[in-house]
Structures are given as structure tokens and as C-alpha cells.
Amino acid sequence: EAGVTQFPSHSVIEKGQTVTLRCDPISGHDNLYWYRRVMGKEIKFLLHFVKESKQDESGMPNNRFLAERTGGTYSTLKVQPAELEDSGVYFCASSQAHPWANVLTFGAGSRLTVL
């Protein structure tokens, strides 16, 4: 079974530019999550999709971040325009059931560096 894949693995952009991160969850996983780890701090929740619907986007920092999951398959996270404080590792994870008591399978993350 293929795992959660994320692209790109590393992106370096200048402040003000746009970046789009992509996540392909495990096939059949309805739940898809975005998390990020900034500056060596704890991993923080961004948002949760159930199929194509946003179930919880309470962790999205501001309106420069836009997540989509058209068709309920892969998801994209766009940052526009990027700021210095957006640098970090963006993780995607998926699960069949809600993770209160079920395991999330994580991707390896997309490292974003904003100069």
C-alpha cells in the first residue's frame, strides 16, 4: 500500500511569492489533515478534510493560506503571498476513521523556506 506522499519535499521561495504544496493521501482514506512545524516548535494542526469538505479549519493562521481537496482525493495547500514566518515543515496525514482513537499516517512533509 502506498503511503501518504507530499510534493515538493523542499521549496525555497522569496517573500511575497506563492507556493502550492500537494498531498496524496492513502487511497480510500476519507480524512485528510494538514499540520505544520515551525522553527523547531511543536507540530500544529491547520485543518481537516472529510472527503472534499472542510471539517475543521480552525488552525489556519490567516487568509494567505488556502486549502482545497477537489473530488475528495489529493489536497493542495497554497500560501499566497508567503511571509518569512511561514517557513517550516508542512505535514499531511490521512486516516480512514477520525483519529480520536485511530492512527494517522503521515507524509514525510514539505519543507518551506521563505527568504
Footprint on residues 49-68 left by other proteins (CB under 8 A): 56, 58-59
Q: How many CB atoms lie within 10 A of CB 18?
A: 11
Nearer to other proteins, 72 or 99 (CB): 99
Contacting residue, 30, 45, 74, 113, with other proteins by CB under 8 A: 45
Nearest to 68 by CA among 44, 92, 45, 88: 92
Residue 108 binds other proteins (CB under 8 A)? yes
Task: Kindly state the smallest distance separating residue 8's Cβ from other proteins, in Å.
Answer: 13
Contacting residue, 24, 48, 49, 69, with other proteins by CB under 8 A: 48
CA dist list (Å): 100 to 94, 96, 103: 13, 12, 8
Q: Which residues bind other proteins (CB under 8 A)?
A: 3-4, 9, 33, 35, 40-45, 48, 56, 58-59, 91, 98-109
